[in-house]
Every structure is written in C-alpha cells, then in structure tokens.
Structure 1
Amino acid sequence: MIELRTPAEIEQMRPAGRFVAETLATLKDETKVGTNLLDIDRRAHDMIRAAGAESCYIDYHPSFGAMPFGKVICTSINDAVLHGLPFDYNLRDGDLVTLDFAASVDGWVADSAVSFVVGTPRDEDLRIIETTERALDAAIAAAVPGNRIGDISAAIAAVAHGDGYAINTDFGGHGVGRTMHGDPHVPNDGRAGRGYPLKAGLVLALEPWLLQTTDKLFTDPDGWTLRSTDGSRGAHSEHTIAITADGPIILTDRSGL
C-alpha cells in the first residue's frame, strides 16, 4: 500500500534522515586502507545505541536473504554492489567501498548509501561513482508532483545509459516510512510518463546502482552479498527524499556535513 505523509510527519522524519546522513558521513571519513569491515559494523552499532535509534538491518530477513542479516550496515566491496554482509576483511589500497545504512528514529526510517575508494583510486571507479551520483541527482529533480514513477526511472536511465552502463532492474528504489521497504517500487530504468503519479507526501528512497561491464548479479555464498557475474566493480548512491509541493526534500542530505 502506498502511503502519503503529512507535512508534520515529514518533519518528524527529519531526525532519522539526519542521523543516517551523519552516520554515513562519519563512517566514510573514518574508513581507510586497513579498516576492517567488522569494525565499520561495530562503529555503526555504537552510533545507533548512542542515538537511541534502531537498526533496520539486524533482524531483516526478506525472501531473498538466506537468514536474518545479523549486522547493522551493508559493506559492499569492489565486485559486490548490494547487500554486502560485513566480514573479517581489512580494506586494501584501491578498494571500492559502498556503505548502505538504514535506521529508525522515533519510529521513522531513513535509508541512504554512498560509494567511495580508499587509497589510490582507479579512473573507472571514480567514473562509475560519479555516474551514480549524477543519476541520483537527476532522479531527485524528477521527483515532483505531476510526474510519475516512470519519470524518475527514465531520469536515472538517461544518465546511466548515456555513460554506457547497463541497468539491472531487479533491485531499485522504494517507499520509506515506518518500515524500510514499502510501496512503490522505483526501478532504475523505465519509461517517462508511466507508473504511479507522484504526489506531495510521498517519501522514497531513490538508489541508482551500476556495475561497470554487466547488469547480471549472483548471490555470494554468505547468502546476502550480491556480486557482478563478471567480476566488474559496482557503485551505489542513495538518498531518502520527501516529495512536496515546493520540491523534493533530501532527508539524508550529507552536503553540509
């Protein structure tokens, strides 16, 4: 069921968005060559406890997960692009890292992701990260009353295809509110003018993600981590936004942090 939020409820969602944004900004700043993925998870867990927030991941067990996730943040490295289950791994020079984090504050959820390189970057890694970020900007710009879900999907696809990337539509954006995943689904490719009409009060997590040379995934033996079938690397950018009559509000904005 698609739910619309009142202006007062959108205001109540701001603390969750701010907490998720601040957590990701802190973790990105602290993540270096040599950082262990389990330490990132522990740090995120400490921040959740300190804020009186709740994890959206630790007990999460959808049909595509082999078991409850058991951690509080997704850490996807290199050829992993989504749902990366933290494990005992020390980051190496040049690793492409995606941190995807969702939490609940006072009963409201926010969800966001960021990709970056630790140490010496490859040009192709910086390029795919920048493409996902521009695709996210285009998606947010299209998230206005009077447009449709397809307009958001088409905006993402125009940027991705324009840069030569293929798009997988198995996983994409989604509604956010009292729970992490709700209706509507927002594919990262679609036709403008199609789909559910966008209305003020709709809150969405928009999340372009791409792989360098494929759009095919497989599930790692850990039962969660999604990797490219050809070993190429991936990037993922995500924000939780609220659609309003005055334009979209980026609830997980990190630009001032």
Structure 2
Amino acid sequence: MGMIELRTPAEIEEMRPAGRFVASVLEATAAAAGVGVNLLELDALAHELIRKAGAESCYIDYHPSFGASPFGKVICTSVNDAVLHGLPFDYRLRDGDLLSLDFAASVNGWVSDSALSIVVGTPRDGDLRLIDTTQRALEAGIAAARVGNRIGEISRAIGDIAKAAGYAVNTDFGGHGVGRTMHGDPHVANSGRPGRGLPLKPGLVIAIEPWFLETTDRIFTDPDGWTLRSADGSRGAHSEHTIAITDGDPIVLTQRD
C-alpha cells in the first residue's frame, strides 16, 4: 500500500466544488439519456460541461496498467452486461437499457468521483432491484465510514447487502482513495471482514463504489480494451460517492440534489 494522505478540514472544504461539479454532470447526463440518444452524445455533453466549468477530465489521458490505451473520453457509459469502465462508442440507447454512468473530474486541483445507474425507458423489475441494491450497499458503506472502524467494516457492510439480495461480489475492482488524483490508496473492496484493513481516521477521503452483476461475479474485458462485461451476459449496476471521513458523520462530497 502506498502513502495514505489525510486531509485537513480546510482541504475538505476545498474539495467541495469538485464534488458538486461531478454530481451536476452525472445529473445532466442521466437526464439527457433517453431512448435513441447516442453514448457519444452523452460524452460530448460531459465534455462541454467540463469546458464551461474550467474543470479537468480525469479520464481522457488515463492509461493504467489494465487499460489497452489512453481512455480518450471523459465519462464511462456502461450498458446492460457492461458494468465498469464503459468506453463510449457509437451506440443509440434502446428502450429498457440499463445504463451506468461513472464520472470523475478535477476542479482547482481536487478530484471527485461518482457513479449512478438508471434504466432508459421501460424498466425491468430485475434491473430496478439490482440498481436499488447497489444504492443500499453504498448507503451502508457510507454509514460504516466512521472513526473507530476499519476499511473492513465498510467492505463488510457492502458485501452483506449484496449477499442478502442474492448477488455474488467481485473484489477485483472497488473503492479507492481520492485526492489530487483519481485513484489512490487505500483500496476499498466490496466485500470483506470487520477489523481488517486501514483504521479510519478524520481526513481520509475515499470513493466507495458497490457494483454488482445479476448472476455472476466474473468479468472480462471487451475488445475495446476497457469496458468490463459480465462473464455470463447478465446485467450490472454501479453506485459510487466520494466521501470524507470526519470526527462525526461522513461528508458525501458528490451528493446529488
């Protein structure tokens, strides 16, 4: 594990504009996502909002070890059996599509990262249940993000919600530290044991991001080199907030209206 950075209360205040901006872009792109709308149009909308705000994309030049090439777009659009890192492409949304939007940006040198899932047009009950489970798991994870607990308490809270709903949990990709860059330590797995991992201290800023697939915990990388899809074609959903741990309640920096 690399260095864990704790932020001062003043720095957490400085992070709020990034959180508000990221929340606003997710709201705008989710509102724009309708039947017949192209994923590239959603990316163009996010790009324009970044430009207007004088913000910086965390994705466009992003090239980690698991990515085939720099991402090249500014928002992740994962549809149906895609759940993470969905690279926007020339695809028009269809009635009943399950769309996950994941967005991170830097404002004044501070990053926030957040995600949500929606159904375009007519929803299927299974999709609504899957989305609701990720949202409840996110809330449970945030509730466990308190001084005196460890990362393991957050992980267990998320995993318990998933398992109670009958979903398996993949721990390859999960939450992470957030600060001047998008991904830092610690890793926050979506399942785990209490009493394990880093002790939570005031000033720790992390993204918590439950994502579940309907009938598997196995994923593979699409030929685009980025998009992660379920191994069995079942659908996925994803919910994420950037939060700051304090002496009291955690602050949800990416809270949407």
Structure-1-length-normalised TM-score: 0.99
Aligned pair partner of 1:171 in 159, 168, 173: 173
SS at match of 1:157: helix
User: Are residues 1:161 and 2:163 paired?
Assistant: yes
Structure 1 segments, 4+ long, off by >6 Å, are none
Counterpart check, 1:244 vs 2:251: no
Displacement of 1:26 in angstroms is 1.0
Tell me the alpha carbon deviations over residues 204-247 of structure 1, each in whole angstroms, 9 at most, x when there is no partner. 00000000000000000000000001000000000000000121
Pick from 180, 183, 186 the counterpart of residue 184 of structure 1: 186
What whole-Å deviation, never above 9, does each CA across 1:121-178 have from its counterpart, x for those lacking one?
0000000000000000000000000100000000001100000000000000000000
Aligned mates of 2:37, 2:151 — CA distance in 1? 39
2:127 pairs with 1:125: yes
Match of 2:136 in 1: 134
Indicate whether 1:13 and 2:15 are aligned: yes
| Aligned 1:82-231 pairs, distance under 5 A | 82-231=84-233
Offset, 1:193 = 1.3
Q: Distance in 2 between matches of 1:103 and 1:194?
A: 30
Distance 1:194 1:83 in 2: 28
In structure 1, what is the Cα distance between the partners aligned to 2:5 and 2:70? 26
CA RMSD of aligned residues (A): 0.4
* Structure 2 Cα separation of the partners of residues 47 and 16 of structure 1: 13
Rounded to whole Å, the distance in 1 between the matches of 2:4 and 2:32 is 37
Quote the sequence identity (%): 75
In the alignment, the residues of structure 2 paired with residue 35 and residue 145 of structure 1 have an alpha-carbon distance, to the nearest angstrom, of 44
Tell me which amino acid in the other structure corresponds to 2:144.
A
1:23 corresponds to which residue?
25
Paired amino acid for 1:227: R
Alpha-carbon distance in structure 1 between the residues aligned to 2:37 and 2:240: 23
The reply to whether residue 68 of structure 1 matches residue 92 of structure 2 is: no
Post-superposition offset of 1:96: 0.1
Q: Deviations over 1:68-123 (max 9, x none)?
A: 00000000000000000000000000000000000000000000000000000000
Selected match of 1:55 from 50, 54, 57: 57
